[in-house]
Homo-oligomer: A and B are copies of this chain.
Amino acid sequence: MERKDSNTVNALLGLLSICPMSGYDIRQVIPFSIGHFWSESYGQIYPALKRMTAEGLISKKTKRDKGKPVRHEYSLTEAGRDRLRAWLESPAQRSPIRNELLLKLFFGGQVGTEASRRHIEAALAAEEKTLQVYEATEQQIRREQANDPQLPYWLMTLNLGRHCSRATIAWCRETLMELDRLAELNRQ
């Protein structure tokens, strides 16, 4: 009975399929790659690399360059590549969502409308910033990874971020108006 890999393992297999890296490298490239929809911390990465090595999914090369700290560089083995492909072919599961903003808004009637206003204004500002980051990232990878055959896939993932960001921004604006209307009603 084979246990399913954790998605941390799958994410690392994917990242190492692009190029060999150390645990530190992996952490560093996440913000510029899968960071918009996935996160991993050192506390997950290093133990996962150890387990994956033991399982033969990746192999480790220790580099001792003069004047630099020891580096453990991991690369995919054939078994690792197979495992990655098998996971990529299998259906994706929806991860459960937990949205603290909505949780607060749902119970917003327990406090004044101003509290909800503040939350939504903060969310709006954050989302506008996020959207700008998406645009900037897109320009950057279009330039720097122009010839990479994987570029179209990266752009697709960014694009969902953009769609949802824009939808969220529109909702924030609508909702702020709706809150104004509610505040008006309460005043009368």
Q: Which residues of A contact B (CB under 8 A)?
A: 7, 10-11, 14, 17, 33-34, 36-39, 81, 84-85, 87-89, 91-111, 115-116, 118-119, 122-123, 126, 149-150, 152-154, 156-157, 159-160, 163-164, 166-168, 170-171, 174-175, 178, 182
Contact = CB atoms under 8 A, between A and B. Distances in A.
Nearest to A97: B37
Contacts of A109: 149-150, 152-153
Contacts of A150: 107-109
Given A39-B96, A88-B108, A182-B152, A103 B167 contact: no
Given A107-B84, A110-B88, A111-B88, A171 B159 contact: yes
B116 A89 contact: no
Number of copies: 2
Interface of A is mostly: helix
* Shortest Cβ-Cβ A-B pairs, 8 listed: A167-B167, A109-B150, A14-B107, A37-B99, A163-B167, A37-B102, A92-B101, A163-B171
19 contacts: A7-B103, A10-B103, A33-B106, A37-B106, A85-B110, A92-B103, A92-B123, A94-B101, A94-B126, A95-B98, A95-B99, A102-B157, A105-B156, A107-B153, A159-B175, A163-B167, A164-B167, A164-B168, A164-B171
A175 B163 CA distance: 12
Nearest to A10: B103
A15 B119 CA distance: 20
A103 B11 contact: yes
